[in-house]
Structure 1
Amino acid sequence: MRIIDLSTPVDAGQWEPDPVEHRILSPEEGGRHMAEAMAAKFGIEFDPADLPDGELLSLDTLTLTTHTGTHVDAPSHYGSKAAYGRPRHIDELPLDWFVGAGVLLDLSEEPVGTVGVQRLEAAFESIGHRPRPGEIVLLRFGADEFAGTPKYFTDFTGLDGPATELLLDLGVRVIGTDAFSLDAPFGHMIGEYRRTRDKNVLWPAHFAGRRREYCQIERLANLAALPAATGFTVLCLPVKIAGAGAGWARAAALIES
């Protein structure tokens, strides 16, 4: 089986709207830290100098949002109320949602803004396949080219409301994108709202989750490496964070040899 990594990293060295803080204790510092912690919490004392090379284990501490790097949005991220009942958190969702046949739609020629129903229908026709219930649809906009830069958060393409509803009508429960968001950039949406005064242009893809229970995989990468639009399995298990509206995921495509 061939495995293609579809994930962007959590990297404190890259630009983020909410910066990542990554603190590292070296193996030597980890030895001292463990000696101090064991003495303080359990009354167990040892000299870290007795360890081989005076080292124990390294330790990483990170401060970041659950929307950093590749992650899965849970229904509770979209709002506190939903037409179908209480929106579930990321730790409450069934794992079989996040392992399934993948469908890749290449929309990389689209400009900043939104994609609608007509464009999705053309994409289905071009690959000779309409998404089926339980399949995981991956939208390639080519946005990961700018990952790690401010442009990644301002210049990308999203889905409009009817396009999102179309995928949900087809039985899709998980929609992935290589962009920062499944919706259009903040500036674009606000500009459209000021022009039209239509509230439906504000986060339509996310707010669809208040009416229909579904998940998004945001900030995917490397979708161009997929050899075909179908014929692969998507694996995107989110980290089980109790009560959270999202969870980091190591997304990958599995392709049979």
Structure 2
Amino acid sequence: MRIIDLSSPVDSSWEEPDQVVHEVLTPRQGAEHMSEEMRRHFGVEFAPDELPQGEFLSLDRISLTTHTGTHVDAPSHYGSRVAYGSGIPRHIDEMPLEWFLRPGVVLDVSDIPLGTIGAARLEKEFARIGGPPEADDIVLLRTGADRHAGTHRYFTDFAGLDGPAVDLLLDLGVRVIGTDAFSLDAPFGHIIERYRATGDRSVLWPAHMAGRRREYCQIERLANLDALPGPRGFQVACFPVRITGAGAGWTRAVALVED
């Protein structure tokens, strides 16, 4: 089995709307930290210099949002109330794991560099690859936006789905939709410009707002979709980190390909 990494890194040197803060304690600093923590919490005295080479273990402290790097959005990310089930959306720790290990289908929509991808464009891609996704397939949108990862353009130059396109996939039984772009919706500036021109609230983050009507998850900030062997013939594993009560969880998304 071949494993293809579909994840973008968490990198504190990259430009981010919410900047990542990454602090590293060296093995020597880790020894000093351990010594202090053992004394404070357990009443145990242990000098760092008693350790081999005076070092213990390194330690990383990271401050970031759950939407940094490749992550899975939970239904609770889309709003506090939904129009299905109990009316209360599920958090990321409540989602069934079965959703996140499924056959994958990649849709190449990289011919739309900026703006909105509609249902007609998806249907054209279905015809090109020999048919639509099946129920429970994980659909991955290859927009090509990941080539800008780490730069300002990553947040401004990409394309996202409109509401009818999301509904088309959900009508097929798809429950997880991924993209290599910053968002499954179009860029913020594009959305606001359309809203100011039309006054139509349905253009305001329609892919995310669809999650208030129907339960599904998004994977955002994927990468390397051009390395997949074809539109089908692989499984996607994208289990989200189990963060209690969170609207998203990071994932190390990969494709599993049988050779």
1:65-108 deviations in whole A, cap 9, x for unaligned? 00000000000000000001210000000001000000000111
Provide the C-alpha distance between the structure 1 equivalents of 2:135 and 2:229, rounded to a whole number of angstroms. Answer: 22
Match of 1:100 in 2: 102
Match of 1:116 in 2: 118
Identity value in percent: 68
The alignment of Structure 1 onto Structure 2 pairs a total of residues equal to 257
Provide the C-alpha distance between the structure 2 equivalents of 1:129 and 1:145, rounded to a whole number of angstroms. Answer: 28
Matches within 5 A, 1:1-257: 1-84=1-84, 85-257=87-259
Q: Any stretches of 5+ residues in structure 2 without a counterpart?
A: none
Provide the C-alpha distance between the structure 2 equivalents of 1:69 and 1:166, rounded to a whole number of angstroms. Answer: 27
Contact 2:159 2:181 in 1 (8 A): yes
Cα offset, 1:204, TM superposition: 0.2
Contact 2:162 2:203 in 1 (8 A): yes
TM-score (normalised: structure 2): 0.99
TM-score (normalised: structure 1): 0.99
Provide the C-alpha distance between the structure 1 equivalents of 2:77 and 2:12, rounded to a whole number of angstroms. Answer: 24
Provide the C-alpha distance between the structure 2 equivalents of 1:72 and 1:45, rounded to a whole number of angstroms. Answer: 43
Q: What's the secondary structure of 1:4's corresponding residue?
A: strand
Provide the C-alpha distance between the structure 2 equivalents of 1:147 and 1:111, rounded to a whole number of angstroms. Answer: 14
Q: What's the secondary structure of 2:67's corresponding residue?
A: coil
After the TM superposition, list the runs of 4 or more consecutive aligned residues in structure 1 that deviate by more than 4 angstroms.
Answer: none
Contact 2:113 2:143 in 1 (8 A): no
Provide the C-alpha distance between the structure 1 equivalents of 2:256 and 2:214, rounded to a whole number of angstroms. Answer: 28
Provide the C-alpha distance between the structure 1 equivalents of 2:171 and 2:10, rounded to a whole number of angstroms. Answer: 33
**Match of 2:232, as an amino acid?**
T
Cα offset, 1:229, TM superposition: 0.3
Q: What's the secondary structure of 2:31's corresponding residue?
A: helix
**Match of 2:169, as an amino acid?**
L
Q: Any stretches of 5+ residues in structure 1 without a counterpart?
A: none
**Match of 1:63, as an amino acid?**
S
Provide the C-alpha distance between the structure 2 equivalents of 1:111 and 1:19, rounded to a whole number of angstroms. Answer: 25
Cα offset, 1:129, TM superposition: 2.2
**Root mean square deviation, CA, Å:** 0.5
Cα offset, 1:227, TM superposition: 1.1
Provide the C-alpha distance between the structure 1 equivalents of 2:209 and 2:45, rounded to a whole number of angstroms. Answer: 54
Provide the C-alpha distance between the structure 2 equivalents of 1:25 and 1:115, rounded to a whole number of angstroms. Answer: 45
